[in-house]
Amino acid sequence: MSGTSLDGLDVALCRVQGHGPGTRLELEQFRTVPYSDEVRGRIREVFARDQVSLEHLTLLNPWLGRLHARLVLDCLREWQVPPDAVDLIASHGQTIYHAPQHQHQRPDFPLNATLQLGDGDHVAVLTGIITLSDFRQKHIAGGGEGAPLAAYGDYLLLSSATEERLLLNLGGIANFTYLPRASQDASTAFSTDTGPGNTLLDATVRAQRPTMTYDEDGRLAAAGHVHEGLLAALLDHPFFRAPVPKTTGPELFSPAYLHQAQEQTATAALSLEDTLATLTEFSALGVARAAIQAFGSRPELAVYMSGGGAHNPILQAALQRHLPGCRLATTQALGMLPDAKEAILFAVLANEAVAGQPVSLGAGRQRVPAVSMGKISLPG
């Protein structure tokens, strides 16, 4: 898995038994292989951009597939696991552009769309391991927005008979999965994006402190104060009023989005610390608003966080303030490494595609398409 933060490739070696509600998964190894500046730069040239070089895009597709294959082989070597001991690779690829209809609003293309690069054939041939990739297209074909796909794996691995849970992933974009109590009843489980997680925080830090990639432990944000005017301008977008489930990406929550809000409120000269404090509050409020939309004014749920933002104490404190009825912990409390969660979820999707059957979740507007996802690439 390589997410919208472009921090690296998450490689999770999983041992999976069974399928569907009987799935048992053990994480044997996990590593985030950091992307070099060169890799990040090559992705950024097309990432979430309207206008790109088609040649660059075309070259990037096999180049990323080959890069991901090499990084997987490096991990296996380090873990002393021969490639022929691995049955399958689930390769998410790199999301380059996410275009749900509500976001692109083009009457000439009345559909949802999303694009992930890093072709699975290259991963399969270079590693010699059967590879499943391009998971999101089937979800769109089945009536979804191509994301979030977390609901499937969260439901199969983390639902509880006794506890009502929110699985909150704080990546570049934040999303949560709702798992009802006694949740063998899948009809009320669903997942939704909530808005930015770290994407605007990271972009702001990078722009003003070129040697930093993110604000470690929210230290800069901790020294700042929330600017209420800027916060209100940031929250003033139809995305936050739209009912859940919904998806978004850095196409909308880009530096241009922040600049527009800064211009409206004459806050472009605000200190880095105050801007980061405000953006942290913005991410937390996106989560809280989606939770309030879904569960009423004072949700009382057990919230389990994952993703890089789960390491940010300032973001955690803001979430707790805005969700006072919720108990916050990380997925570590459920025995799942928070940084590995998204990669693990794709292993579950691949397992379902080859050994399971389409999972049916949600109902009505919150219906999650019952499809099996992933295209199969054979090594030979």
Ligand X SMILES: CC(=O)N[C@H]1[C@@H]2OC[C@@H](O2)[C@@H](O)[C@@H]1O[C@H](C)C(=O)O
Stretch that binds ligand ATP, among 102-110, 112-120, 132-140, 164-172 (CB under 6 A): 164-172
Has 4 been labeled as part of a binding site?
yes
Of 306, 248, 303, 253, the C-alpha closest to 282 is: 253
Q: Is 191 in the site for ligand ATP (CB under 6 A)?
A: no
Q: Is 133 in the site for ligand ATP (CB under 6 A)?
A: no
Identify the residue among 26, 216, 263, 300 touching ligand ATP (CB under 6 A): 216
Identify the residue among 112, 114, 199, 377 touching ligand X (CB under 6 A): 114
Q: Which is nearer to ligand ATP, 215 or 274 (CB)?
A: 215
Q: Is 95 in the site for ligand X (CB under 6 A)?
A: yes
* Whole-angstrom distance, CA of residue 97 vs CA of residue 119: 15
Name the residue with tokens 């749900």.
100
Q: Is 94 in the site for ligand X (CB under 6 A)?
A: no
Has 283 been labeled as part of a binding site?
no
Identify the residue among 6, 76, 147, 157 touching ligand X (CB under 6 A): 147
Q: Is 194 in the site for ligand ATP (CB under 6 A)?
A: no
Name the β-bridge partners of 106: none
Has 10 been labeled as part of a binding site?
yes
Residue 193 interacting partner from ligand ATP, ligand X, none (CB closer than 5 to 8 Å by kind): ligand X
Q: Is 342 in the site for ligand ATP (CB under 6 A)?
A: yes
Q: Which is nearer to ligand X, 134 or 193 (CB)?
A: 193
* Contact string (CB under 6 A) for ligand X, positions 242-281, x = contact: -----x-x--------------------------------
Identify the residue among 169, 183, 278, 330 touching ligand ATP (CB under 6 A): 169
**Residues sharing a CB contact under 8 Å with residue 108, sequence separation 6 or more, in sequence order:** none
Of 46, 26, 48, 44, the C-alpha closest to 35 is: 44
Q: Is 6 left (phi over 0), alpha (psi -120 to 50) or beta?
A: left
Q: Is 172 in the site for ligand ATP (CB under 6 A)?
A: yes
Is the separation of the CB atoms in 365 and 245 below 8 Å?
A: yes
Residue 216 interacting partner from ligand ATP, ligand X, none (CB closer than 5 to 8 Å by kind): ligand ATP
Residue 159 interacting partner from ligand X, ligand ATP, none (CB closer than 5 to 8 Å by kind): none
Site for ligand ATP in 218-277 (CB under 6 A): 218
Q: Is 346 in the site for ligand ATP (CB under 6 A)?
A: no
Identify the residue among 46, 149, 179, 371 touching ligand X (CB under 6 A): 149
Identify the residue among 47, 176, 178, 214 touching ligand ATP (CB under 6 A): 214
| 3-state SS, one letter per residue, for the chain | CECCCCCEEEEEEEEEECCHHHCEEEEEEEEEEECCHHHHHHHHCCCCCCCCCHHHHHHHHHHHHHHHHHHHHHHHHHCCCCHHHCCCEEECCEEEEEECHHHHCCCCCCCCEEEEECCHHHHHHHHCCCEEECCHHHHHHCCCCCCCCHHHHHHHHHCCCCCCEEEEEECCEEEEEEECCCCCCHHHCEEEEEEECCHHHHHHHHHHCCCCCCCHHHHHHHCCCCCHHHHHHHHCCHHHHCCCCCCCCCCCCCHHHHHHHHHHHCCCCCCHHHHHHHHHHHHHHHHHHHHHHHHCCCCCCEEEEECHHHHCHHHHHHHHHHCCCCEEEEHHHHCCCHHHHHHHHHHHHHHHHHHCCCCCECCHHHCECCCCCCEEECCC
In this chain, which residue has its C-beta nearest to ligand ATP? 308
Q: How many residues of this chain bind ligand X (CB under 6 A)?
A: 18
Has 131 been labeled as part of a binding site?
no
Q: How many residues of this chain bind ligand ATP (CB under 6 A)?
A: 22
Has 54 been labeled as part of a binding site?
no
Q: Which is nearer to ligand ATP, 5 or 377 (CB)?
A: 5
Which residues would be at the binding site for ligand X (CB under 6 A)?
A: 3-4, 95, 98, 114, 146-150, 171-173, 175, 193, 247, 249, 342
Which residues would be at the binding site for ligand ATP (CB under 6 A)?
A: 3-5, 7, 169, 171-173, 198, 201-202, 214-218, 307-309, 311-312, 342
Q: What residues are designated binding site for ATP?
A: 3-10
